[in-house]
Structures are given as structure tokens and as C-alpha cells.
Amino acid sequence: MSVKTKRIIYKTVLTISVIFVLLWCIFPFYWAVVSSLKPNSELFDPNPTLWPKSPTFSNYVKVFQERPFHVNIWNSVVVSGITTIVTLIFGSFAGYAIARLHMKGKSFVMILILAVSMFPQISILGSLFVILRNMRLINTYLGLILPYVAITLPLTTWILQNFFRDLPKEIEEAAAIDGCSRTRTLFQIVFPMSAPGLVATGLLTFISAWNEFLFAFTFMQKPDYYTVPVAIAMFSGRTQYEQPWGQLMAAAVIVTVPLVVLVLIFQNRIIAGLSAGGVKG
Amino acid sequence: MKAKTRETLVAWGMVIPALLVISIIAFLPLFQTFYNSFFETGLRPDIEKEFVGFGNYVELFKDDRFQDALKNTIFFTVVSVILETIFGLLIAILVNQPFKMRGVVRAAMLIPWAIPTAISSQMWKWMFDPSSGILTKFLETLNIVEPGVPILAMPNSAMWAIIAVDVWKTTPFMALLILAGLQLIPEELYEAARIDGANIWQRFSKITLPMVQSTIGVALIFRTLDALRVFDVVFIMTRGSVNTETLAVYNRVLLMDRAFSGAWFGYGSALSVVIFMLISVFAVIYIRSLRIKLE
């Protein structure tokens, strides 16, 4: 085989594979968008077309008219938002102490925190339900925020700990020599310098809280308190056999688009953060 | 007070909020789950609590539904993790090649990961719809499934459909993790091998594979412990029917559905402990592989 033929084969295989991977990643999302724009007559056509012939936004209107989807979005925003803020505060304190301060048993503390990220949620589900029920926190925002802080803290602390460790130590030392207290150094130098890391980590925390299903499904038992994933999983029509797929896909698109946009904007930071937490160590 | 002692106090003060939250929300319930697994008890106040020792565990291993759930979980884990690793490695190598729009492809790979599992499960459920699902049509055209057979309601195909969703969601992510490892391999190694006349397979098996081995290993363990606790996709696609019930799905039935009507809470807790033990094995390997030395 000549070098030229080899080159052509390589190019062809490469192009086909790339197209396949792109289709693979995007098609389900594309199909949700297309389905959400189809009127019911087209949606349930036994021979579906790859794009809507007469696109309509009626599914997007109905999803807010026929069900409290705006309430579900608000629930998710509140729960994920507060979780992110609290986790970032607790996580950056713990991460900084582990990365920089003199403390015996650091590795033990870090392993203890990391171990929680590996807990199967189902193993604490029953007992946690009883604890929250005794604290009267079932069907409250706090009853979901507390568990979310606990399950997102490990990865946040770990990533931030790695991040603080990589900051140049000299700046903090110079601040100390100039008589700047530890706390002031932390708030006026370390945290502002870590802003990009905090934003990326915060986004990861937000996404995991926004996506969580099992706890939300168990601790929020009234439809008015459902978060987005639960509302979408529990989506139903008038009868069991009449699933309103058009509306469902519209709902899916509404809550996925902002997420996808955020992820695309922060893609490099997310990948860096995830590989720090997932593989590199 | 000595400066060092003060610093230690500050440090502990800073980790305490985090430790407090995980103690109350994770360690305390875990301890209670272990404790409750030795009792016959329910969630209704009038159900009497009775100590049964290891009785729940003995019952559990005789329980056919538990055995099926265990088999399904292991099948799901083994198949999905193997597929994700192989495809993940292939895609990682692919997007490590120089080509136009490489950035776009890498970005697109984050989309399946970013969509909440509950939502992507519904998207796929729609694609598998027996009468108008696009994937159903596609598989029918390829003669892989017979027309009119509902994929998600058949014991043979439902689990594969669930695996497809998991593979779709996780493979690109796995690929990005492996890609991070691939990018650390110096290009000179490949050039030297090429000059020595090594072919593609030799370069792959003698350079690429050994160099990303540890990355793959760690990703593999992490995916395994994640797959063993699978809940969302199974629950949403089939509710655990037609031989797809996994341990976590069965466990929720015991803890939340049955525990209010009978003394099933202790039994459910025993299953929770079994799942915890199963996953701990992989968690310990995973944490050790991170080699945490912070002192």
C-alpha cells in the first residue's frame, strides 16, 4: 500500500468515526428538541420525520399551563443555588486548612470526607428519611439542601484542596510578613485569587445538585415540592397510557439548554476539575 | 499560645463545619442502618421493634427477588463498564488525533454527561416508544427487533436498552478522562517507534496502553462502584419490571413502599448494608489508588 492510499484510508476512517461520535452525543438531545416542536399529529406518526413539518411552540406553553413546571424550576433553583453557596463556603474552608495549615491527621480527615462521595446513597436513604422526618424536614427546602451539601462536599473539598495547593505560597508568606492575619489573607488574597477555581467547582456542585433524583424523589413527597428531575420522571397525562411526550420533551429542553450552555462555556475548567477529582489524585 | 498550636486550632475550626454536616447526614444514618438491620421494624409507629440478630441477612440471601436483583446489578455493571471502557478508549484516541473541529467534538462530548439522568432516561424512553419511537423504527428497519414488540417491556431487550442509556451518558465522559492521560504521552515516543518500524498495533499495545493503564484502571474502579448503585435510569425506564430490577431499586421498594405497611424497614436496612459492603470493596481500592499523603 502506498503512503497516499494509507493517508486516504486514515482520513476516511477518521471522518466517519468523528461523525459517528458527534451523532452519538448529540442525537438524543436533538431528537428531544425536534419532538418538542412537533404537534401531536406529527409526534405520534408511525413514520416520524427527522424535523418538524409544521413546528409549533404549543408544547412549551402547555408545560406551564397544565402543570406547575415553573414551581418545579423554582424549587430546583433554590435548592441547587443554596447548596452550591453553602458547599463552596464549607468546602473552601476545609480545603484551605487541609492544603495549607499545620494540622495532624490531615490525610485521615481528607479520606473521611472523600469516603462519603463513595457512599451508595441508597444505603443511607432509609435512616436519613427517619432523621429528616424526626426533624420535620420532609417536604422542606432545608430537608433537601442538607443532604445535598453532604454529598457534594467531598468532591468540592478535594478539588479546592488541590487548587489551593497549586497557588504560589510566596504571596501568602509575604502577606504574613507584612503583618496580615491568616483570616485576612484568606479573604483578601487567597479567595480572590481562587475565583476561577471556585466558579468551576461551584458549577460542578450546582450540576450535581440540579441533577440529583433519588433523595429529591424520597424527601419531597408533594408535587409542589418536586424538583425538576422528579417532576420530569413523574410526568403523566390523564391516563397511564397517555404520556404527553411533546410536553415532556419541551420540559426536558427548557431545563437542559441552560445547563448545556453553561457546560460549553466552562468546558475546559470542568474537564480539568473532573480529572483532578476523578483520576489524577 | 504558640503560633503553631493556634494554627492547628484555626485549621480544625475550618474543617469542623464540613465534618459536622457529613457526620449528621452520612455517618449517623449509616450507623443507624447497620443498627436497624438487626431488628424487625417498620416505619409505622404501631409496628413493634424486635431484635432478630442476623435473621434479616439470612432471609435476604434466601430471597429470590434479592438474588435476581443481585444478578441484574452484576450483569448491568459488567456489561456497561466493559463497553464504556472500550468505547471510551477508542473515542479518546480518536479525539486525540489532529483534525478540524476537534474542539467542537470535545465540547459535544460533555452534553450527555451534563443532562440529568432522570431527563435523559425520559428522552431515551421516548426514542424506544413502541409505536412512534425513532430508535424502535431504526432497529426494526435493521431487523434487530420485530415490529410491534415493545423493547422496554420485554425481558430480553429492556436491560440492553437501559445499558444503552448508561453507555451513552458515560462513555464520552470516560473518554475525556482517558484523553487527559493520553495527552501526557510524549509525541517523541511514537516518532521513535515509527522510525524503528513499529506498526499501528505495536504502537498502541506497547506505548499507548501501558501509558494510560493506570488512568483507565482508576476510571474503571470508579465507574464500577457507580454502576453497582444504579437507580435513576432503571427506575425511570422500567420501574424495575421485566427482569431489570437492580439492588438499589429493590432496596427503595423495601425501605419506602413496604416499610409503611409492614415490618420491612429492618430487612431493607440489611439490604442497604449489603450494598454498602459490596461497594466498599471498590471504594477502598479507589481511595488507595489516589495515594493521599497530605502531611
For chain A, percent of residues with pLDDT exceeding 70:
94
At A271, the amino acid letter reads I
Question: Is A16 part of the contact surface with chain B (CB cutoff 8 Å)?
Answer: no
pLDDT digits (tens, 9 = 90+) for B186-216: 888 888 988 888 888 888 888 888 888 888 8
pLDDT of the residue at A266: 81
Q: Flag whether pLDDT at A276 surpasses 80.
A: no
Chain B residues closer than 8 Å to A244 by CB = none
Minimum CA–CA partner of B238 in chain A: A233
Which pLDDT band, with edges at 50, 70 and 90, does A238 fall under? low
E strand or H helix that includes residue B51: strand B50-51
Nearest by Cα to A43 from B129, B80, B160, B159: B129
> Once rounded to an integer, what is the mean pLDDT over residues A210-233?
93
CA distance B68 to A193: 53
Neighbours of A40 (CB within 10 A): 14
Candidates B10, B25, B124; nearest CB to A182:
B10
Question: Is A48 part of the contact surface with chain B (CB cutoff 8 Å)?
Answer: yes
Chain A residues closer than 8 Å to B286 by CB = 118
pLDDT of the residue at A227: 95
CA distance A160 to A62: 43
Q: DSSP string covering A15-38, please?
A: HHHHHHHHHHHHHHHHHHHHHHHS
3-state DSSP of B63-121: CHHHHHHHHHHHHHHHHHHHHHHHHHHHHHHHHHCCCCCHHHHHHHCCHHHHCCHHHHH
Question: Is B57 part of the contact surface with chain A (CB cutoff 8 Å)?
Answer: no
CA A76, B248, A112, A129 torsion-angle sign: positive
Minimum CA–CA partner of A91 in chain B: B18
- DSSP, collapsed to helix, strand or coil, labels residue A149 as helix
CA distance A71 to B126: 24
CATH of B37-289, one of 1.10.3720.10, 3.40.50.970, 3.40.50.620, 3.90.700.10: 1.10.3720.10
For chain B, percent of residues with pLDDT exceeding 90:
47
CB contact under 8 A, A110 and B292: yes
For chain A, percent of residues with pLDDT exceeding 90:
47
CB contact under 8 A, A90 and B259: no
Looking at per-residue confidence, does B100 or A88 come out higher? A88
pLDDT of the residue at A281: 29
Within 13 Å and on the Cβ side, how many CA atoms surround A239?
2
Distance linking the first and last C-alpha atoms of chain B: 23
Q: Flag whether pLDDT at A256 surpasses 60.
A: yes
Which pLDDT band, with edges at 50, 70 and 90, does A274 fall under? low
Q: Within the 84-103 window of chain A, which residues sit less than 8 Å (CB to CB) from chain B?
A: 89-91, 93-94, 96-99, 101-103
Question: Is B118 part of the contact surface with chain A (CB cutoff 8 Å)?
Answer: yes
CB contact under 8 A, B97 and A26: no
Minimum CA–CA partner of B32 in chain A: A127
pLDDT digits (tens, 9 = 90+) for B127-183: 999 888 899 889 988 888 888 788 888 888 899 999 999 999 999 989 988 888 888
> Once rounded to an integer, what is the mean pLDDT over residues A76-100?
94
Greatest distance between any 2 Cα atoms in chain A: 76
Candidates A48, A252, A271; nearest CB to B176:
A271
CA distance B169 to A97: 35
Per-residue DSSP letter, A223: G
Per-residue DSSP letter, B48: P
Candidates B132, B176, B231; nearest CB to A48:
B132
Residues in chain A: 281
CB contact under 8 A, B115 and A260: yes
Question: Is B76 part of the contact surface with chain A (CB cutoff 8 Å)?
Answer: no
How close B293 gets to chain A, by Cα (Å)?
6
> Once rounded to an integer, what is the mean pLDDT over residues B88-94?
92
> Once rounded to an integer, what is the mean pLDDT over residues B44-57?
86
pLDDT digits (tens, 9 = 90+) for A151-170: 999 989 988 888 888 888 88
pLDDT digits (tens, 9 = 90+) for A168-196: 888 888 888 888 887 788 888 888 888 88
Minimum CA–CA partner of B131 in chain A: A46
Chain A residues closer than 8 Å to B32 by CB = 127, 130-131
Q: Per the structure block, which three cell numbers stand in for A36? A: 418538542
At A268, the amino acid letter reads N
Alpha helices in B145-264 (DSSP H): 155-182, 187-195, 200-203, 209-228, 232-238, 247-252
Chain A residues closer than 8 Å to B28 by CB = 127, 131
Write down the pTM of the prediction: 0.90
Q: Flag whether pLDDT at B290 surpasses 80.
A: no
> Once rounded to an integer, what is the mean pLDDT over residues A227-256?
86
Domains of chain B: which residue ranges?
37-289
Query: Among all chains, which residue has been given the C-alpha cell 420540559?
Result: A251
ipTM confidence score = 0.89
Q: Flag whether pLDDT at A222 surpasses 60.
A: yes
Q: Per the structure block, which three cell numbers stand in for B78? A: 459488567
pLDDT of the residue at A279: 38
Within 13 Å and on the Cβ side, how many CA atoms surround B197?
0
Q: Flag whether pLDDT at A277 surpasses 70.
A: no
Nearest by Cα to B276 from B240, B233, B225: B225
Q: Per the structure block, which three cell numbers stand in for A261? A: 450552555
> Once rounded to an integer, what is the mean pLDDT over residues A26-33?
94
pLDDT of the residue at A280: 34
CA distance A179 to B163: 59
pLDDT of the residue at B162: 96
CB contact under 8 A, A127 and B19: no
Query: Among all chains, which residue has been given the C-alpha cell 439492588?
Result: B247
Under 8 Å between Cβ of B217 and B224: no
Under 8 Å between Cβ of A139 and A230: no
How close B220 gets to chain A, by Cα (Å)?
10
Chain B residues closer than 8 Å to A25 by CB = 108-109, 111-112, 172
Nearest by Cα to A253 from A35, A40, A102: A35
Of A3-17, A158-172, A258-272, B194-208, the one with minimum mean pLDDT is A258-272
Question: Is B86 part of the contact surface with chain A (CB cutoff 8 Å)?
Answer: no
Question: Is A73 part of the contact surface with chain B (CB cutoff 8 Å)?
Answer: no
Q: Flag whether pLDDT at A123 surpasses 80.
A: yes
pLDDT of the residue at A239: 65
Q: B169-201: buried (b, 16+ CB within 10 Å) or exposed (e) per residue?
A: bbbbbbbbbbbbbbeeeeeeeeeeeeeeebeee
Which residue pairs, CB below 8 angstroms and at least 24 apart, start in A241-245? A244/A62, A245/A35, A245/A43, A245/B126, A245/B129
Question: Is B119 part of the contact surface with chain A (CB cutoff 8 Å)?
Answer: yes
Question: Is B106 part of the contact surface with chain A (CB cutoff 8 Å)?
Answer: yes
Of A266-275, B213-222, B249-258, the one with minimum mean pLDDT is A266-275
Question: Is A234 part of the contact surface with chain B (CB cutoff 8 Å)?
Answer: no
Minimum CA–CA partner of A242 in chain B: B129
Average pLDDT over all residues of chain A? 88
